[in-house]
């Protein structure tokens, strides 16, 4: 067992100004074929960056809270797996983004219908954002957006457009 600070210290300090693209899925479990694909994919990460794969296990309180009590909707997921492409040179964007997207494609057969909203990128399709919350919560969030941000000022990453 590690404390949060100890776990954070297992990674190097990263310089400011890095480029990031993260892509992954919630998974119902972590089958052997996903573990094998993850190990193989990490070995093929692009040069000139700090790419890694993040595997987060979901248990405890998040699974005991009633599903309708908050926007987080992935009660059937036990794992969140994401490729974290992190690099410095804009000329390498396509290579690093492709590496992260390929990982998400590799693990997709074990995935639920959604991904972690905090790790979504601005190219995440609206239907994927909606699936992450579920239709009822998504509609409620759109109503809240209409009330508090009708001009859609806060629209980056996983945007939820204001209700019409």
Residue ranges of the domains in the chain? 12-119, 122-164
Contact 78, 57 (CB under 8 A): yes
As a whole number of angstroms, the distance between CA 102 and CA 43 comes to 13
Residue 86 CA from chain centroid, whole number: 14
DSSP code at position 49:
B
Go through the chain and tell me how many residues it has.
164
CATH architecture of 12-119: 3-Layer(aba) Sandwich (3.40)
59-80 pLDDT, tens digit per residue, is 888 788 887 887 777 778 899 9
pTM of the model: 0.83
Residues contacting residue 58 through CB under 8 Å, at least 6 positions apart: 26, 74, 77, 78, 79, 80
Contact 81, 104 (CB under 8 A): no
42-57 pLDDT, tens digit per residue, is 999 999 899 999 999 9
């Amino acid at each position: 067992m590690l404390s949060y600070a100890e776990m954070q210290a297992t990674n190097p300090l990263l310089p400011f100004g890095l480029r990031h693209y993260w892509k992954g899925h919630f998974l119902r479990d972590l089958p052997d074929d996903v573990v094998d694909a993850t190990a193989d994919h990490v070995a093929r990460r692009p040069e000139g960056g700090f790419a890694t794969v993040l595997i987060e296990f979901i248990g405890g309180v998040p699974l005991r809270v009633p599903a309708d009590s908050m926007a987080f909707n992935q009660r059937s997921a036990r794992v969140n797996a994401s490729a974290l492409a992190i690099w410095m040179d804009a000329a390498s964007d396509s290579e690093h983004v492709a590496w992260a997207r390929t990982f998400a494609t590799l693990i997709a057969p074990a995935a639920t219908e959604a991904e972690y909203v905090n790790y979504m990128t601005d190219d995440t399709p609206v239907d994927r954002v909606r699936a992450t919350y579920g239709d009822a919560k998504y509609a409620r969030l759109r109503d809240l957006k209409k009330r508090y941000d009708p001009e859609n000022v806060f629209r980056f990453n996983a945007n939820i457009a204001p209700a019409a």
